Structure 1
Amino acid sequence: MNKTTVKSRWPEGLSDPSGSRQPKPRAKGRTMIIDKGIGMHAFEDLLSTSGQYIDIIKFGFGTSPLYPPEVLRMKIDAASKYGISVIPGGTLLEAAVRLDVVPGFFRQALACGFTGIEVSDGTINMSRSMRNDLIRDAISLGLTVYTEYGKKLSGSRIDIRHFAETAEQDWACGAELVTVEARESGKGVGLFDEQGEYREGELGAILEAIPNMDRVLWEAPLKEQQVYLIRELGPNVNLGNIPVSDVLTLETMRRGLRSDTFGLHREPYIDYMI
């Protein structure tokens, strides 16, 4: 049976009315998704439909050791073909720190094909010197490092001065991005309150402490949070903990192809109805 090749194109500019999105590899506007354990077929479907819009895939929490090894390797290899950085969840490294098996963690991460790691202390206490060592050791092994700031305990807030100091030190050690914790739920942690709504005035205070947001990634699993950050920081804000089902939805909002951000980054809205 002959296959029909689709050669026609959408009108110029229609795929990105914002006029601001960059192709991969992107220096800003990166999207990190959280994979909580979807199967290989669903994973391949995700990549075929949305792979060009995903920059980082995090295998959430400590799920990585629970996969059949061959399935884990297949998923990592498939994502890497799309130019996606693949990392285990930061909780897994925290467990390795607690169990004193960090060298083994690094060996296995490399053996599995992971291209990066997340260094976090959301559930444990970690000294600054240990955080520095973990970042530098991972980079020396050829891994990209994404760090995370904030505790996972409900009610945890952002200490803005401490966050700014932590971010600067992480970047000085070679971290690619510093992520602001919001958990999988997006509620009661960091920038967001117990209902998942942004804390009034907090983002502005953070911007005063860290004016350049290109190296900060905000966990924002809920649509309203994504809309808020896009409206406040622009379509090229780095966003993380995006559910696998929401990749295309987020990209439409970045580009002004959904009513929530329609016309936000172009000329003011004009009623074209005659």
Structure 2
Amino acid sequence: MKSFEFLSMKREEKPRDCGITMVLDKGLGLETAKSLMDISGEYVDYLKFGWGTSIVHEQEIIKAKVEMYKEHDITPYTGGTLFELAYQNNKLHEFFEEARNLGFPAIEISDGSINIHHNDKLNCIKRARQEGFEVLSEVGKKNPELDKELTIDERIKYMQEELDAGSSLVIVEAREGGKNIGIFDKSGNAKEDEIDYILDNFDGNKILWEAPNKDQQVFFILKLGNTVNLGNISSDDITSLETLRRGLRGDTLGKL
């Protein structure tokens, strides 16, 4: 039983269809990660092994972390940069095999750092599903100038096609910093008109909004409710975000 539970807003328990939280693991040690999940794992739905961090750590440590996360009913998955590296080097077969051997049940498919023809990206999503993986795909470029070349209608078109190809969730790119990319301006403020347009033309329950900064998390919770799907959450901010979702901080207290 939680302390002062009678004062807390109820949240849907896992497995959740909405109110999903995706946390970014940038290289946590096994014991640190385990301790963190022991206290906050019930608030995490997806755990992304960021970028290509899996390459620089020992296989047995990665495998142990993957299993530990799964024991907490969390879906761990490989970052999109790792997929892009495999694609660029024509190593997709080896990539899928290694991901399976390490115990990953899901992978991210993106084209944020390299150019992949969209039809090829869709085929990769379908192939990953055939290989038995859940797929989270990401739309957007990591280079702000290239990202701005994508029109809002192109983003929505790509999002829908990736969903139709088999992605369970489509991630809207915002990187780790959440500034001057995608739906955020140079100051990290959300472009509300673009968000409204996306939601008018795409199923919001299938979007994972990258919102690494607290103000962005508050914005989405106040705008879309505490069941909004949020990602790229720092491992340090799991509890912070959950309290925002439950109206336990001044930013959302009495506003949900």
Q: TM-score, normalised by structure 2?
A: 0.95
Q: What's the offset of the Cα at 1:8? A: 8.0
Higher share of residues assigned helix? 2
- The 5-angstrom pairing of residues 107-256 of structure 1 reads 107-155=97-145, 156-157=147-148, 159-210=151-202, 212-256=203-247
Within 2, Cα distance between the matches of 1:11 and 1:188? 39
Q: Aligned residue for 1:43?
A: 33
Q: Which runs of 5+ in 1 are unaligned?
A: 1-6, 266-274
Q: Aligned residue for 1:15?
A: 8
Within 1, Cα distance between the matches of 2:5 and 2:164? 44
Q: What's the offset of the Cα at 1:159? A: 2.2
When structure 1 is superposed on structure 2, of 192-201 and 22-31 the one drifting more is 192-201
Within 2, Cα distance between the matches of 1:11 and 1:221? 27
Q: Aligned residue for 1:54?
A: 44
Change (3 A) 1:8 1:172: closer
Letter in 2 for 1:127: H
Within 2, Cα distance between the matches of 1:74 and 1:246? 23
Within 2, Cα distance between the matches of 1:189 and 1:171? 22
In the alignment, which of 227, 243, 257 is matched to residue 248 of structure 2?
Answer: 257
Within 2, Cα distance between the matches of 1:204 and 1:139? 30
Within 1, Cα distance between the matches of 2:116 and 2:41? 34
| C-alpha contact (below 8 Å) 1:178/1:216 kept by paired residues | yes
| C-alpha contact (below 8 Å) 1:35/1:57 kept by paired residues | yes
Q: What's the offset of the Cα at 1:170? A: 1.1
Change (3 A) 1:55 1:200: closer
Letter in 2 for 1:202: E
Identity %: 40
Change (3 A) 1:261 1:79: same
Q: Aligned residue for 1:72?
A: 62
Within 2, Cα distance between the matches of 1:168 and 1:154? 22
Q: What's the offset of the Cα at 1:25? A: 0.3
Q: What's the offset of the Cα at 1:15? A: 2.6
Q: What are the Cα deviations for residues 114-150 of structure 1, in whole angstroms up to 9, with x where unaligned?
A: 1100010001111122112211111112211000010
Q: TM-score, normalised by structure 1?
A: 0.89
Q: What are the Cα deviations for residues 1-60 of structure 1, in whole angstroms up to 9, with x where unaligned?
A: xxxxxx786353x232xx4x2100000110001111111121011110110000000010
User: For this pair of structures, how many residues does the alignment match?
Assistant: 254
Change (3 A) 1:80 1:11: closer
Within 2, Cα distance between the matches of 1:83 and 1:38? 18
Q: What's the offset of the Cα at 1:200? A: 4.6
Within 2, Cα distance between the matches of 1:121 and 1:142? 21
